[in-house]
Amino acid sequence: MTSLAVDFGGTRIKLGVVQNGIVTASKTMPAESVQSLASRLEDVAVALEKLCAELRLPLHTCGGIGFSYPSIIDRRSARILDHFGKFGDASSLDLRAWAKQRLGLPLAIENDARMALIGEWRYGAGRGCDNCVIITLGTGIGVATVIEGHVLRGVHGQAGILGGHITMHINGSPCVCGNVGCVEKLASTSVIAQLAQQHEQFKTSALAREFVVDYAAVFRWAEQGDACAIALRDQSLNVWSALAVNVIHLFDPELVIFGGGVMGSAKFILPAVQNHVAQHAHTPWGKVKIAASQLGDQAALLACEWLIQEDLKKARQDEQT
Ligand SMILES: [Zn+2]
C-alpha cells in the first residue's frame, strides 16, 4: 500500500510518501500557522502532487492521506476540535470533503502525540510492547497511550493526550487550555526563555548572551556549571520525571518513550528520569522501562499509513454489520 502523510508541527509541516512501512520520500515546508488552514492545505496539496510527480506515482494509486495534527481530533468526523491560536479556521473545515475533492483520496487524521506513539509502537522503540506511553518534549508536551494493544482515545478523543495539561502546580500560572500550573507552563520550549529571564541569576548567566534561550543552550551551559542554567535544567528534569511517574500511575505501562525535539539532549534527560522513576513510581511488579524514541520525525509519517489501514479495516467491518 502507498499512502500520503502530512505531519503538522509547530513550526513546520512535514510531507511524505509511505510505502509498506517505509518513508520513501519526504520534504518539509514552514507551518505559517498564522495563515488560514484552508489556504495552507492548498500549498500542502500542490507540494504533495509535486512529490508524487517526482516519484512518478499517480495520486489515484495511493490508499489515502493521513494527517498528524496538534489538537484534539474527532476521528468519526475527521474534524479538528480546537486550535490553540494556530490555524484559526481549523475547526471549521471538513477535511474529509477537502481530501476527496482536492486529491480524490480518503483522509484519516489523529492527534500528533498519538501519531508519534503509533509510529514508535508499530515500527520503533515500542515494537512488541502493547502497553506503552509516549511523552514528547517540544514547544508543548504531548502524551499518548496504548493499553493492551489499543490506542487509548476516549469518547471525545482526548483520553491520554492531555498530559502536558496535567496540574503540576496548584498555584501556578494560567495556561492557554484554561487550567493553571500545567506541566507545559513549568517545563517546555514554549516557556523556557521566559523562565530563564525570570530567574534571579539570569543577568549574570551565560544564557543572557544567547540569541535564543532553548533547551540545547540550557543543557550546554548547565554542564559548564552556570547556576541559572542548572536551576532551569533541574526544574525541568523534575517536572518531566514527575510527569513520567504520573502517567505510570495512571496507565500502567511497561514502557515510557520520550520523544520530541528537546530529546536532542537525551543523554541528560533519560538517566535523570530513569533514576526518579526507579525511586518514586509505585510499581510493585517490577520496573518500567524508560527509552528514547527511535524514529524521530518519521514516526508520525509511518503512523499515517497505519491509521489509513485502520480506517479501511473499520469501514469493511461496518459494511459487514
Ligand atoms: Zn494547560
- Interval 248-286: pLDDT, tens: 999 999 999 999 999 999 999 999 999 999 999 999 999
Residue 76 confidence (pLDDT) above 90: no
CA distance 174 to 170: 10
Q: What is the pTM of this model?
A: 0.95
CA geometry: angle 202, 270, 244, nearest 5 deg: 90
CA of 150 to the centre of ligand 1 (A): 26
CA of 250 to the centre of ligand 1 (A): 18
8-36, pLDDT tens digit by residue? 987 899 999 999 999 999 999 999 888 88
125-166, pLDDT tens digit by residue? 999 999 999 999 998 999 999 999 999 999 999 999 999 999
CA of 71 to the centre of ligand 1 (A): 13
CA of 163 to the centre of ligand 1 (A): 9
According to the model, what pLDDT value does residue 190 have?
92
CA of 120 to the centre of ligand 1 (A): 25
CA of 237 to the centre of ligand 1 (A): 19
Q: Is 114 helix (H, G, I), strand (E, B) or coil?
A: helix
Quickly tell me which residue has 469501514 as its cell. 315
CA of 162 to the centre of ligand 1 (A): 8
CA of 177 to the centre of ligand 1 (A): 4
141-169 burial by CB neighbour count: b if 16+ within 10 A, else e?
Answer: bbbbbbbeeebbbeeebbebbbbbbbebe
Bridge partners of 132, per DSSP, are 146, 255
CA of 204 to the centre of ligand 1 (A): 31
CA of 184 to the centre of ligand 1 (A): 7
CA of 34 to the centre of ligand 1 (A): 21
Q: What's the mean pLDDT in 222-228?
A: 97
Using alpha carbons, list the distances in angstroms from residue 109 to 3, 16, 106, 148, 211.
Answer: 13, 15, 10, 22, 36
CA geometry: angle 158, 159, 164, nearest 5 deg: 75
CA distance 110 to 255: 22
CA of 169 to the centre of ligand 1 (A): 11
CA of 7 to the centre of ligand 1 (A): 22
Structural Rg of the chain based on CA atoms: 20
According to the model, what pLDDT value does residue 314 have?
87
CA of 239 to the centre of ligand 1 (A): 14
CA of 113 to the centre of ligand 1 (A): 15
CA of 101 to the centre of ligand 1 (A): 36
